[in-house]
Structure 1
Amino acid sequence: MYLSANLGLFILLCALSRSYASKLLVVPVEGSHWVNMKVLIVELHSRGHSITVVRGSSSWYIEEQSPLYTSITVDNGEFDDDFMEKFLPRLLKMQRQGKSFWNEMALADEMIRFVTETHKQSCNMTAIMFENETLMNSLKDAAYDVVLTDPAYGSGVLLAHHLGLPLVYNVRWTVYGEAHFDIAPSPLSYIPVSGLQLTDKMTFSQRVMNIMTYIMIRYKYSKNFGSPYQEFTQKYFGPNVNFFSLLQDADLWLMRNDFTFEFPRPTMPNVVYMGGFQCKPAKPLPGDLDRENMQRLSKLHHDQPMKPLDRAIFWIEFVIRNKGAPHLRAQSFRMSWIEHQSIDVILTLMVMVFVFALVTAYTMKYFCLRLFRKKVKHE
């Protein structure tokens, strides 16, 4: 009797757990980005969720056959192996021989051209999917609960918008650069641009450098990396749809950051930090100051109420259970630049002050003239 009751309870729990199992459409990014995305996939699969992964035909690391997921393979052209074989030795040579401004600029431009081509490939792959009516109908019929993607490339953003699905990011970088700059308030007076090796305590000249670098990076990334997606967005969604707004419209940003290792900065309610979710605690190695410092930081990082991976999975399932998280999204991205920076309010207040000063000056002039005329008449 006791055994049969336990068996019945076990069957009931299994049935309940399956009833909460959901369907995720995962659009990952190749290379090291896939390594950490796979950690999430393994954990989601272990919890009974059904996962479909969209991969390119030239993928290096994303397996077509896997016990963790089913895959959709889309033609995305051939990857330029020769570029990396030539570029990396030149980069190492420059590091050994010393940097020069012109060499760095030439390498940077060459790298930008290469990455631009990979973004165009991403758009082409997405276009192939959109034009395949059978595939798109099957994706709609599959009734996925959420799209999980890495926004370093924009295919997942476009696909989620087309299917009308909640969108969750596994993110550190986006098409436009460091992710915080796309979603959170980021005052450049104390938030250094990545790669400048500045701190949150900058001198005047460093702040000038920080702002100029930020403007240059945003311009280059928007022009070279964002343009293919903007053209794609206008073609398939209409001229009034902006890709950057689609990017910002994600329900949840799972950030691969941890403020143990980064400077404090403003954040948003739909940003959840899961830095180190794929890592294990560092082992203590006494006698080495640097390693002891690493151990201290590791201990500080792991002193959390729950593991970063558990936190990430909870919030993915939160979005699934609630069919999105629009209540966590700020409206700032829906505003124009003028509204966002309150330029219209500032100009209105300035006009009011100017009109008030003008009226005051005119009134004073009027009464002064009347007083002067009375005085002259009396005399």
Structure 2
Amino acid sequence: MGLIANRLLCISCLLSVVVCSSGGKILVFPEDGSHWVNMQVILRELHTRGHNLTVIRSSRSFYIQGSSPLYTVITVNITQTEAVDAGIFGTLLQRSIALRKMMPIVRFFEQQKDVKKMLQIFHNGALSLISAILDDSFLTRQLQDTKFELMLVDPAFPAGVLLAHYLQLPMVYNVRWLNAGEAHMAIAPSPPSFVPMYNSLFSDRMDFLQRAENSLRYLFSRLQEHFIILPIYDKLLKTHFPPGSDLLTMQRTADIWLMRIDFVFDFPRPSMPNFVYIGGFQCRQAQAISAELEDFVQSSGEHGVVVMSFGVMVTALPKEITEAIASAFARLPQKVIWRYMGERPSSLGNNTLLLDWLPQNDLLGHPKTRAFVSHGGTNGIYEAIYHGVPVLLLPLLFDQFDNAIRLEVRGAARVLEVSTLTSNDFLEGIEDVIKNPSYRSSIQKLSQLHHDRPISPLKSTVFWIEYVLRNKGAQHLQSPANSLPWYTYHCLDVLSFLLVFILVALWVLVTLCRLLCCRPKRKQKAD
């Protein structure tokens, strides 16, 4: 019996070696915060399939762990003078609330000033990281000698893109945002007539004034890209890359773009062959929650529970808003589970449980959950869609306002304005979401559509990553438009030629008319 057991153990070891040896060497360049939350989901799946993963992180990272059983970690020490840390999001939140109280025209220009400042801060942070890597000859030699086969990049900031090109590796993007806008804008047509721009708060059906503002936002985003972002990397490109290297061209050459979008939620728009839509890939079936938490949920009886979380970046709201929400919760018959890390609100009711962390996906999948109160983060919204839970949204920062509009126009959520929020406003809003069956009906319809697909988003994600590994790229899916200059892409050279041709033709026509019509008549001979 012992001999058989030993043979089985040897066979198992050999099989594990075969599985591991079939895996590829993947270099991963993630972004921090909520972006890292969903990148981890992909890494766990790749690890189970035997791939060898190496993650590059900054020494200033506040969510990416310095060690993991799933992957090897390379920590890069940077000496950035203006550090980007978790505390910056509290400052941004205060500024966002102040902006919401301004007149729309004033808010627009103040937003552009804020966007300029934030782009400079975050892109200079990315520059510090990639500079530290490329200036370290030992590290770059180590990366080259490892013979990675693929680079998995979150390109919200281009440090990973630049490293992939330096190492000449095929690229797969885990992406939604790129530079100053939505990633589609980089290589797919994005007409501002029906594609709402970042922070526009418009749907895809705009009236004339909205299209005018949306076009202005489109112009601003292009100007920000060319005059704020690109100059930041000029010196680095001249130092470490061949002459004529261009950041925008580099960004467009990813083999596969894994887009964190599902058009069940987002608005339809032009696409490209190498775009793979994986919105909701981080969602999964609900697992059993802890016995203590289950007891609290069951104590709600027929009324059920409300779950509230504002993601990983915002742990607490300003005190007056927190007190208004806590007071409203205290008047609900439902039990409330609230992820909260600030000072305990004085108006908190006995029906509300405060937790530093909560199993959000598992609670949203619980049959007793009646509503989800969220800031509108993409991960939370897709989990609500996955489990069919109606949402009360209080957008605070970045794309959360746009996400809120998208879910609101689908009829699956109600949106409240945080800057003017009162306890009565919040109570009326949460009761509406719980009691009005249209919200639950709408989001369950979205959930049905989201699940009705031939392959899950996560399996699709892994398939396309391994597709690039097997085929050493996917250049056949890339459009030639990626390498065209802007004037050629828009056929401005053709239009210029046609304009010159028409002008020359008109000039010739006018000249001929003058010659024919203005010739002097011959004098008739006298009799």
The answer to whether the superposition gives a TM-score over 0.5 is yes
Matched, 1:144 2:148: yes
**1:45 counterpart (38, 44, 47):** 47
Residue 87 of structure 1 pairs with residue 87 of structure 2: no
- Residue 99 of structure 1 pairs with residue 102 of structure 2: yes
> CA offsets, 1:315-367, max 9 Å, x none?
11111111111111112131112111111111111222222233333334444
Structure-2 residue corresponding to 1:211 = 215
Distance in 1 between residues matched to 2:499 and 2:116, nearest whole Å: 42
- Which whole-Å CA distance do the structure 1 matches of 2:246 and 2:508 have between them? 44
Distance 1:123 1:14, change over 3 A: same
TM normalised by structure 2 equals 0.65
Question: How far did 1:170 drift?
Answer: 0.3
Distance of aligned partners of 1:317 and 1:59 in 2 relative to their CA distance in 1, 3 Å threshold: same
Alignment of 1:158 with 2:162, yes or no, is: yes
Q: Could you tell me which amino acid in structure 2 is paired with residue 87 of structure 1?
A: L
Alignment of 1:307-326 (within 5 A): 307-326=456-475
- Please list every run of 5 or more consecutive structure 1 residues that lacks an aligned counterpart in the other structure: none
CA distance in 2, matches of 1:237, 1:282: 47
Distance 1:83 1:17, change over 3 A: closer
Alpha-carbon contact 2:21-2:50 (below 8 Å) kept: no
Aligned length, in residue pairs: 373
C-alpha separation in 1, matches of 2:389 and 2:77 = 47
Distance 2:129 2:117 in 1: 19
Match of 2:304 in 1: none
d(CA) in 1 for partners of 2:278, 2:240: 34
> Which deviates the most, 44-53 or 335-344?
335-344
User: Per the alignment, in what secondary structure is the counterpart of residue 65 of structure 1?
Assistant: coil
What corresponds to 1:300 in structure 2?
A: 449
Partner of 2:484: 335
Partners of 2:235 and 2:211 in 1: CA distance:
34
* Cα displacement (A) at 1:173: 0.2
- The CA deviation at 1:234 is 2.7
Aligned partners of 2:525 and 2:501: how far apart in 1? 39
Match for residue 185 of structure 1? 189
1:105-143 deviations in Å (ceiling 9; x for gaps): 556634642442232122112111111111111111110
Q: Distance in 2 between matches of 1:327 and 1:378?
A: 80
Instruction: Measure, in 1, the Cα distance between the counterparts of 2:215 and 2:176.
Output: 21
CA contact (8 A) 1:154 1:229 kept: no
- Name segments (4+ residues, structure 1) moved above 4 Å: 3-16, 101-108, 283-287, 367-370, 376-379
- Within the alignment, does 1:25 sit opposite 2:27 as a pair? yes
Instruction: Say if 1:236 and 1:377 are closer, same or farther in 2 by CA, change over 3 A.
Output: farther
The answer for unaligned runs of 5 or more in structure 2 is 285-385, 391-433
Tell me the SS of whatever aligns to 2:54. Answer: strand
Secondary structure of residue in 1 paired with 2:479: coil
1:136-191 deviation digits (Å, cap 9, x = unpaired)? 11111110011111111111101000000001100000123210111101122221
CA distance in 2, matches of 1:195, 1:93: 16
Determine whether 1:282 maps to 2:398. no
Further displaced range: 351-360 or 173-182: 351-360
The answer for the alignment partner of 1:172 in structure 2 is 176
Partner of 2:296: none
Using the TM superposition, name which of 283-292 and 215-224 deviates more.
283-292
Q: 1:363 corresponds to which residue?
A: 512
Match of 2:374 in 1: none
Residue pair 2:58, 2:78 contacting (<8 A) in 1 also: yes
Secondary structure, counterpart of 1:201 in structure 2? coil
TM-score, normalised to structure 1, is 0.89
Once the two structures are overlaid, the 10-residue window that deviates more, 188-197 or 207-216, is: 188-197
Q: Cα–Cα, structure 1 residues 210 and 39, in superposed 2: closer, same or farther, change >3 Å?
A: same
Amino acid of the structure 1 residue aligned with 2:70: L
Task: Check conservation: 1:258, 1:301, Cα contact below 8 A.
Answer: yes
Report the RMSD for the aligned CA atoms in angstroms. Answer: 2.8
Question: Taking structure 1 as reference, are residues 71 and 208 closer, same or farther at Cα in structure 2, changes over 3 Å only?
Answer: same
CA gap 1:199/1:84 in 2 versus in 1, 3 angstroms: closer
